[in-house]
Amino acid sequence: DTGVSQDPRHKITKRGQNVTFRCDPISEHNRLYWYRQTLGQGPEFLTYFQNEAQLEKSRLLSDRFSAERPKGSFSTLEIQRTEQGDSAMYLCASSSGNRANQPQHFGDGTRLSIL
């Protein structure tokens, strides 16, 4: 169990650029979640996958955001045409099993800064 891995840890980009983050869940965890956290606030749910299927998306996930989990293993989160308000920590979590109440294990996030 090597834990949830996120890459990169930090990303600085100019407004209007596209960015992509990667999340590698714990091996054999079939559920994968993305959250966003702004300074001083708790994490907010963005979307989740069960295997390769994206089962729920938050209203926070605008058209500029897209997430994929093509083979049911790692996942990517892409933000197109970044805006100042996208500056945040993007967290990934994974859990096992078929029951939704299994504990989620989080990575240490990707911190995005928009110049």
Q: Is 22 in the site for another protein (CB under 8 A)?
A: no
Among 19, 107, 112, 114, binds another protein (CB under 8 A): 107
CB of 81 to another protein, least distance (A): 26
Nearer Cβ to another protein (19/33): 33
- Chain residues 59-78 in contact with another protein, contact rule CB under 8 A: none
DSSP for the chain reads: ----EEE-SEEEE-TT--EEEEEE-STT--EEEEEEE-TTS--EEEEEEETTEEEEE-TTS-TTEEEE-TTSS-EEEEESS--GGG-EEEEEEEE-SSSTTSPPEE---EEEEE-
**Interface with another protein (CB under 8 A):** 4, 31, 33, 35, 41-45, 48, 55-56, 91, 93, 95, 99-109
